[in-house]
Amino acid sequence: MTIENLSSNKSFGGWHKQYSHYSKTLNCSMRFAIYLPPQASNGKKVPALYWLSGLTCTDENFMQKAGAHRMAAELGVAIIAPDTSPRGDDVADDEGYDLGKGAGFYVNATEAPWSKHYRMYDYVLNELPALIEDMFPVSDQRSISGHSMGGHGALVLALRNPERFQSVSAFSPISNPVNCPWGKKAFGAYLGKDTASWAEYDASLLMQKASKFVPALVDQGEADNFLTEQLKPEMLEAAAKQSGYPLELNRHEGYDHSYYFIASFIEEHLRFHAKYLNS
């Protein structure tokens, strides 16, 4: 597989790098960022945290704003941040910020015109880890995390594939997308009118019936403008109680939906994942 290095920056003794490659899953060129901690410099394989970003974001937001490199370097954990959606002139798009490019929602689209490119679920689950583990000193010990739309994606991927991930966490996830405006719009477009298929990508519905568990950590700001209408963490909490899922959900007074919130608690999330990645 051919990948092209776009940029390299030394950070806390490790390296942050951007790459592009052609994705057979998405039928387009994709970009991702990777932070390799100093422990990977001698070829030793390190475990990985996959980070999924939210609406309108790219691979750059988390790497530049979250302040995660210092702790990742200390813990010896690689961070991989893919783009949120397929890109390119021939990729279907929408005028709204919450559909199309920048809003892939980490699903496998089944409806035209989206199904040609929008298969972010398969990309994150299969193609990207295979590329990373083949091209870099990164092991198959994986955890996954994300923010907002990416928090939704991280939870869904871990809940549906507990054997693939050691742990999962999320900041301000879209917890019950089948019952919120963002989710209804995206799922209706990508998955069609049959709402039964939507349940496969709803973290609350998946957690409610889960029988195999991945340790889960969720942090939610109480001053988040999207809290009531879009995020609905209470639905995730209720689902965990019903199935006995090992979910730790923390609410934080005064914090909003921004990367200031993520930067404030990213150390706790990285330590959480490292505990399971290194066990």
The residues carrying an active-site annotation are: 148, 224, 257
What 8-state DSSP symbol labels residue 200?
A: G
Left if phi > 0, otherwise alpha if psi is -120 to 50, otherwise beta: which for 94?
Answer: beta
| Residues 221 and 252 sit within 8 Å (Cβ to Cβ) | yes
Q: Bridge-partner residues for 78, per DSSP?
A: 48
Left if phi > 0, otherwise alpha if psi is -120 to 50, otherwise beta: which for 196?
Answer: alpha
> Nearest 5°: CA angle at 203, between 113 and 82?
55
Rounded Cα gap, residues 158 and 141, in angstroms: 13
Provide CB contacts within 8 A for 62, sequence distance 6+: 51, 53, 68, 79, 81, 147, 259, 262
Look at residues 270, 209, 218 and name the one whose alpha carbon lies nearest to residue 248.
218
Look at residues 108, 98, 105 and name the one whose alpha carbon lies nearest to residue 151.
105
**Is the bond into 129 cis (omega within 30 degrees of 0)?**
no
